[in-house]
Amino acid sequence: MTKVISYVAAAAIAAVCALPTAAFAHAELVKSDPSADGVLMASAKEITFTFNESVKPAMCKLTLDGKEVSSLGKPHADGMVLHIPIEKALASGRYTLGCRVVGPDSHPINESISFVVSAPNAK
């Protein structure tokens, strides 16, 4: 009887270990617009982050050369796509956009991209 229980326990452990690792994964950034390290010839009206599963926005922060820029509107999610409106035109420079979202498993995910606005008179 003890051997049967040991075999059942071993089989249960093997079954759990065989589960796909994706079942334990968190939401991941698949793409962004603009792309990471992209160059824009004019200020964007919106930036999007696309994830591999639905997310809810928590917060986003935009910096120019390390200093926070107050050009962002309120981010909102549409399924797997996080929309970050740009309410004030971005001047030329290198920006970093960092966002925190929450995936369906309730874990917070931090993602960021850097991009360049290269227009002499970005408006």
Work out the pLDDT band at 35, boundaries 50, 70, 90: very high
Which residues span the domain enclosing 65? Answer: 26-117
Q: Is residue 90 part of a domain?
A: yes
Q: What pLDDT score does 80 carry?
A: 96
Count how many domains the chain has.
1
Residue 93 lies in a domain: yes
Render pLDDT for 86-120 as a digit per residue (tens, 0 to 9). Answer: 999 999 999 999 999 999 988 999 999 999 999 76
- Report yes or no on 65 lying in a domain: yes
Residue 83 domain flag? yes
- For 3-18, the pLDDT digits (tens) are 545 555 455 455 444 4
State the pLDDT at residue 119.
72
Q: Is 99 exposed, middle or buried (0-12, 13-18, 19+ CB in 10 A)?
A: buried
Domain assignment present for 87:
yes
Query: In this structure, is residue 77 part of a structural domain?
Result: yes
The letter for the amino acid at 73 is G
**Band (26; pLDDT cuts 50, 70, 90):** confident
What single-letter amino acid sits at 77? A
Residue 8 is assigned to a structural domain of this protein: no
Q: What is the mean pLDDT of the chain?
A: 84
Q: Residue 91's domain is classified under what CATH number?
A: 2.60.40.1220
